[in-house]
Amino acid sequence: MQLLLEQVVNGCAIGSLYGLFAIGFGLVFATLGILNAAHGTYASFAAIAGYYAATSAGLPFIASTSVGVAAGAALAVMVDQVAFQPLRHRKAGMIGALITSIAFWMILDRLAGLATGEQSLSFPAGTYPGGTWMVGSLPLPQMQVVAIVSLIVVAAGVHWLIAHSRLGAAMRAVGWNEAAAQIAGVNPRLVILATAALAGATSALAGVLAGISTNNVSASLGEGMLLKGFAAVVVGGYEDVRGAAIAGLGLGIAEVLSAQYISTSMRDAITYALLLGFLVLRPRGLFGRVSFVRA
Amino acid sequence: MLWLSDWWAAYQSTLAFSMVNAFFALSSYAVMATGILSFATVAFAAAGGFLGVQLLAVFGVPVWLALPAAALAGCVASVAVSLIFLRLESHWLALASLALILITRILVLNSPALTGGVNGLSVPVEAPLWLLALLLAGTALVFWRLSSSWYGIAACAVREDPAVASSLGIAPKRVQLVAFAISGGVGGLGGVLLAMVLQFISPETYYINIAFTMIAAVVLGGSYHWAGAIVGALVFTALPVLMQALVPAVQDVANGLALLVIMIVLPRGLVDPRAWRARQAAK
């Protein structure tokens, strides 16, 4: 029982990181219509920026995380403006943006490799809350609590923003039909910038926290996040933030429990079997609604 | 003449790889020509590749029999997959095809009896260049004939507007099913040829990187004409070799930048029939 509880907490912590990343990835997919292969590198660069802020500049945890998040948001805006903006009025569609995002993936992946000197760095102890709280006999590492709380706060915040704020309404409008949104008085350029920054920041937070808790600050960090975040978006549905958050949590728990109780080699198999099952049985995700499509 | 033989020795393998990649690009093009973005070619290639290598290495089947068997395996896999995939909307289909690649790798890793598992399989037979060239020419001939057939025109209509196409008596899903079958056949053939060029395959051979590369090759070459896929594959295989020679330290960065610039300047790709028509009209 003790072991099961510990593993569920572990799973929640890992799953929170997947969920956080998936929120950003899904936001870009739903609002901007871009399948962004470069999204994982935002997480890598955020972790790298956070690492150097913590080690070279000696900033405390909150400040270095903020530096990482800001770096991720800035990178997302830069990539959007360089790679996606020129294609928007050319009607190149999802494929064109996919290709330019692949181009940026190749570039940024290599630059991330150069920035870490081709090795995996880890945050030195003392630059983050490394202690453990005890709840009864259940140990709660502080970083795991930080991850879970971050997911809850960010998912609730982003969901409120999209469902209930003016900016969110504008984002949904641009996602549905950019021209119609513009006629209704929305400035699509601003909305696109805000979406890119928000998505970059969310995934960047996942990147920094994952870099700390897995002791792996490198280019491979982003690639792992991209695959798992992608799975969470498919299971949860990209149209709803809550779906991505819950699916991320679920994937994390399923992964840890299957590694513990079934076998380590089957860990990924279970993740992707879930993925396939959802695609076949519930292709629009957990919170997906059937909507009509204009011909 | 010496420089010519040096050049040949150095770039022979580049040529072989660009021809193999042309099969993958044509396979991706086949579905893209009906308006579908799918990465599933990699999975079909894996089906053809592992079956073909098993036949060649374990059962000692001759090459001329193993190649069609691999194409058939890809074809069967693609029809099975498309029965599920064609129920999904375009965005979901793209995501599902990526998921299929991840699942394929897990299946390959966990069935070592068939695929060699983590260790992979070595391939005893090498594909000579003339065979690759011959098969590619044959496949290109098929695509050329298809492009002006009823099927080719129907595919074009489905890509431009499925609703209009169905009002003209074309069944979009059926056209797309045929497209997947073609994609699977060509992809399966490409899969076994890649194995014969590499002489070794493992789960990593058929994975995400190659999926993105082949889609990028098609779009770079031009996704509105079958020749675009072949040109794209050639450019996309030669580009890294060229960058390796010019700027070895930041090779990938240079590749990415080249891809970025070409896409932004020529979003419809290098081979673009619409641009030809526009040029002819201007005369």
B99 vs A contacts (CB less than 8 Å): 230-231, 234, 272, 275-276, 279
Q: Is the pLDDT of residue B180 over 80?
A: yes
Lowest mean pLDDT among A6-20, A219-233, B16-30, B266-280: B266-280
Give tens-digit pLDDT for A47-59: 999 999 999 988 8
The reply to whether B219 touches chain A by the CB within 8 Å rule is yes
Give tens-digit pLDDT for A26-69: 999 888 888 898 999 999 999 999 999 999 988 899 999 999 99
Say whether B99 and A234 touch across the interface (CB within 8 A).
Answer: yes
Dihedral sign, Cα of residue B91, residue B94, residue B97, residue B101: negative
C-beta atoms surrounding B270 within 10 Å: 18
- CA-nearest of A97, A66, A102 to A81 is A97
Give tens-digit pLDDT for A225-283: 998 888 888 888 877 888 889 999 999 998 888 888 887 777 777 777 777 787 777 76
Reported ipTM: the value is 0.80
Q: Is A137 helix (H, G, I), strand (E, B) or coil?
A: coil
Q: What is the per-residue pLDDT for A285?
A: 66
C-beta atoms surrounding B49 within 10 Å: 32
Say whether A103 and B215 touch across the interface (CB within 8 A).
Answer: no
When comparing pLDDT for B211 and A23, which is higher?
A23
The reply to whether B238 touches chain A by the CB within 8 Å rule is no
The reply to whether B93 touches chain A by the CB within 8 Å rule is no
Q: Is the pLDDT of residue A111 over 70?
A: yes
Q: Which of A114, A226, A279, A284 to mutate to test binding with chain B, by most B CBs within 10 Å of its CB?
A: A279
Going by pLDDT thresholds of 50, 70 and 90, the confidence category of residue A293 is very low
Q: What is the mean pLDDT of chain B?
A: 89
Q: Is the pLDDT of residue B76 over 90?
A: yes
Going by pLDDT thresholds of 50, 70 and 90, the confidence category of residue A295 is very low
Say whether B102 and A293 touch across the interface (CB within 8 A).
Answer: no
* Cα–Cα distance measured from residue B100 to residue A162, given in angstroms and rounded to the nearest whole number: 31
Of residues B37, B255, B256, nearest to A95 (C-beta): B37
For residue A121, what is the DSSP state? Answer: B
Contact in structure between A73 and A46 (CB atoms under 8 Å): no
**Hey, which residues 143-202 in chain B have their CB within 8 Å of chain A?**
161-164
Q: Is the pLDDT of residue B66 over 70?
A: yes
Say whether A283 and B252 touch across the interface (CB within 8 A).
Answer: no
Contact in structure between B191 and B28 (CB atoms under 8 Å): no
B164 vs A contacts (CB less than 8 Å): 295
CA distance A100 to chain B (A): 5
Give tens-digit pLDDT for A173-191: 888 888 888 998 899 899 9
B91 vs A contacts (CB less than 8 Å): 29, 33, 35, 94, 238
